[in-house]
């Protein structure tokens, strides 16, 4: 049987890509969450709404999902299911929101300046 593009699309609908990503993370990057949490945070403590692991993991997921712009990431990740999944992966009971791209950009600039 020849696999057509239509058949391929139908098969892809059944794949849980987030679950597949988590399998890869567990197999190849077992310590990544520990390393993300260990990043020195240069921000003033009174201004922190998101922990460093949330900020970094948002960027990792943006790249894994082939999202090219930060604003597009904020738009696509601003869904309850996405927020819930990332909270589970990072070991948080809940996350109210995921960071806006400006928050991530500001953090990355501060991080660059502290190195």
pLDDT band at 31 (very low <50, low <70, confident <90, very high): very high
Average pLDDT, the chain: 88
Sequence-distant (≥ 6) Cβ neighbours of residue 50 within 8 angstroms: 98, 99, 103, 107
pLDDT reading at 7 higher than 90: no
* Confidence label for 110 from pLDDT (cuts 50, 70 and 90): confident
Residue 115 has pLDDT above 70, yes or no: no
Nearest to 53, CA basis, from 81, 70, 31, 69: 31
Rg of the chain taking only CA atoms, in angstroms: 16
State how far the alpha carbon of 80 is from the alpha carbons of 5, 76, 77, in Å. Answer: 31, 11, 8
- What's the pLDDT tens digit per position in 77-107? 999 999 999 999 999 998 999 999 999 998 8
Q: Give the span between the Cα atoms of 96 and 99, in whole angstroms.
A: 10
Which two three-digit tokens encode residue 28?
């190849």
Counting beta carbons within 10 angstroms of the beta carbon of residue 93, is it exposed (0 to 12), middle (13 to 18) or buried (19 or more)? Answer: exposed
């Amino acid at each position: 049987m020849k696999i057509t593009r239509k058949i391929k699309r139908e098969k892809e609908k059944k794949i849980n890509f987030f679950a597949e990503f988590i399998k890869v993370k567990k197999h190849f990057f077992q310590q990544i969450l520990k390393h993300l949490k260990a990043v020195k945070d240069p921000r003033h403590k009174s201004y922190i709404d998101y922990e460093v692991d949330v900020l970094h993991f948002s960027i990792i997921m943006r790249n894994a999902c082939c999202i090219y712009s930060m604003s597009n990431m904020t738009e696509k990740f601003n869904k309850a299911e996405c927020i819930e999944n990332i909270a589970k992966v990072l070991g948080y009971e809940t996350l109210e929101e995921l960071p806006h791209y400006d928050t991530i950009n500001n953090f990355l600039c501060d991080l660059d300046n502290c190195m």
